[in-house]
Amino acid sequence: MSSFFFSRLLLPTFIFASCFSSVAQAADQATLDVLMRMQTASENINYHGTLVFLQNGQVQSMRVVHKADGTGRFERLINLNGVAREVVRKDNLLICYMPDSKEVMVSRQKFKGNVNVLTQLAGNDFAELQKNYEFTLETVERIAGREAQRVLIQPKDNLRYGYRLWVDNEKSILLKSDLLNERGESLEQAMFADIAIVDRIPENLLQPTSTGDGFTWYERESDSSTSMISDSDWKIEPLPKGFTVSSRFRHQMLGASVPSEHWVLSDGLANISIYFEKLTDGQDTFEGISPMGVVNAFGILNAKHQITVIGEVPAGTVEQLARSVTFSPGVKND
């Protein structure tokens, strides 16, 4: 299984439960209650189960162990088909075991990125978000043997995707999610086939399958070459409706003479990354649209830079954004 597909498998447990806290205050009271209970459950409930992921006719499954208590958050994810992979995450420490190559990758995240940002949005004013999405309680269905409330999150335009969620009635855990295209059709689906919600995770479930003995260990410390920036020579005008720039980074790429920039845009649910890289002689370039499952990328050349826009949004959104980028050297845009 590709690293890209495996990263998609991680999203339901790492991102979904926290990100929907940001929409709650924009909904009616009944929907608000469901979404806020779901966000709280993601931070306080222990569970383990089998997660099934469907995209482009491919089915992947993984075991998930999730522990959340006063000591922090712990997650263990084991790929059950395809190439063997096991990921253990504790707060900002991520360890990936790769038995096929007898390697272990260890990383310590300096910037926690969108997961943190979206969780922090829970206390903000979401009047603007309601202009872009509608939130509707639907029927109650059974998922993994449990009663679940179905919730529809529907965009009001074609700039972003929608979601359909199934939230456990008793414990408020997110049991299933569908990502919906502009026609309301499912693009990808993540669902628990079985889940056990427990007071305490058994100690044996917290231990990785492999000890890593005889493996080559690679550790990536926090990248000192990456820094947050408050201004830039680049400008995006106009921004797609409802989106704002949530963070900007400058990164010194290996072998590059000047640093590149990475911007993150968000509307509270959808996230888009923009990369600005100065071109060098003979460097390969990328122009036009490139779909990667539910993710779309669009490349364009501008002021001797490669501009690449990537996001889990419709193709038209990444193209519109790429064509809205302008270069204004000496005029700081903040």
The pLDDT-based confidence of 122 (bands split at 50, 70, 90) is: very low
What stretch(es) of the chain map to CATH 3.30.200.100? 226-327
Amino acid at 210: S
> Looking at 102-116, 159-173, 213-227, 279-293, which range is the least confident one?
102-116
Looking at domain 226-327, which CATH architecture does it have? Answer: 2-Layer Sandwich (3.30)
Q: How far apart are CA 17 and CA 38, in angstroms?
A: 7
The predicted-structure confidence for 29-87, as pLDDT tens digits, reads as follows 788 788 778 877 877 889 999 999 998 888 999 999 998 877 778 889 999 998 889 99
The pLDDT-based confidence of 125 (bands split at 50, 70, 90) is: very low
Q: What six digits make up the tokens of 36?
A: 């806020």
The residues, any chain, with a CB within 8 Å of residue 325's CB and separated by 6 or more, are 234, 235, 236, 274, 276, 300, 302, 307
Q: What value does the mean pLDDT of the chain take?
A: 81
The predicted-structure confidence for 131-152, as pLDDT tens digits, reads as follows 788 889 999 999 999 999 999 9
Q: Could you tell me the CATH superfamily of domain 3-125+187-220?
A: Lipoprotein localisation LolA/LolB/LppX (2.50.20.10)
DSSP E strand boundaries for 113-254: 133-143, 146-155, 162-168, 174-180, 186-198, 216-220, 226-228, 234-236, 244-251
Name which residue leads in pLDDT, 197 or 22: 197
- The reported pTM is 0.80
Q: Biggest alpha carbon distance in the chain?
A: 60
Check whether 166 has a pLDDT greater than 90. yes
